[in-house]
Amino acid sequence: MTAGGDRSIEGIAGEKAAAQFLRRKGMKVLRRNWKGRFGEIDLIVRDGDALVFVEVKARSSERWGAPEDAVTPAKQIHLTRAAAEFVARYRVRDRLLRFDVVSVLLTDDGPVIRHFADAFPPRYAGKKG
């Protein structure tokens, strides 16, 4: 992977492909790139009665591993905190909450997409100094 600008282009392309993919699966995209105090949530979608917080990881090759491998426990904690902020801010009640990961491998033949529904449970960590 080269300069950070290329990663941004990959990220934008990956999020667009992921949103289209999830729509084709019958999900409704509610928010893209929601930003809170604890970080950004790539996509927030509704899947039936569930509110789904989606982390999208895109890469142009698997040279350094599959895109989904980048959703580390630390990243999961940040996503959990951001999701908790979203739920509190918008007073979300009586909804099943879920964390999904969408892996996008950008190839010359088009994106190869893998969707990991309910990829991880909410993860918490104590406050840091």
CA distance 5 to 112: 21
Residue range 5-30: mean pLDDT, rounded: 90
Phi-psi region of 34 (alpha: psi -120 to 50; beta: other; left: phi over 0): beta
The pairing of beta strand 96-107 with beta strand 110-116: antiparallel
What value does the mean pLDDT of the chain take? 91
Share of residues in the chain with pLDDT > 90 (%) = 84
- Structural domains in the chain plus CATH codes: 4-116 (3.40.1350.10)
This prediction has a pTM of 0.89
Q: Tell the burial category of 63 from Cβ atoms under 10 Å away from its Cβ (0-12, 13-18, 19+).
A: exposed
Residue range 39-45: mean pLDDT, rounded: 96
Kindly tell me the sign of the dihedral angle through the C-alpha atoms of 5, 33, 82, 28. Answer: negative
Q: Residue 5's pLDDT is what? A: 47
Q: From 55, 39, 44, select the one nearest 100 (Cα to Cα).
A: 55
Q: Residue 46's pLDDT is what? A: 98
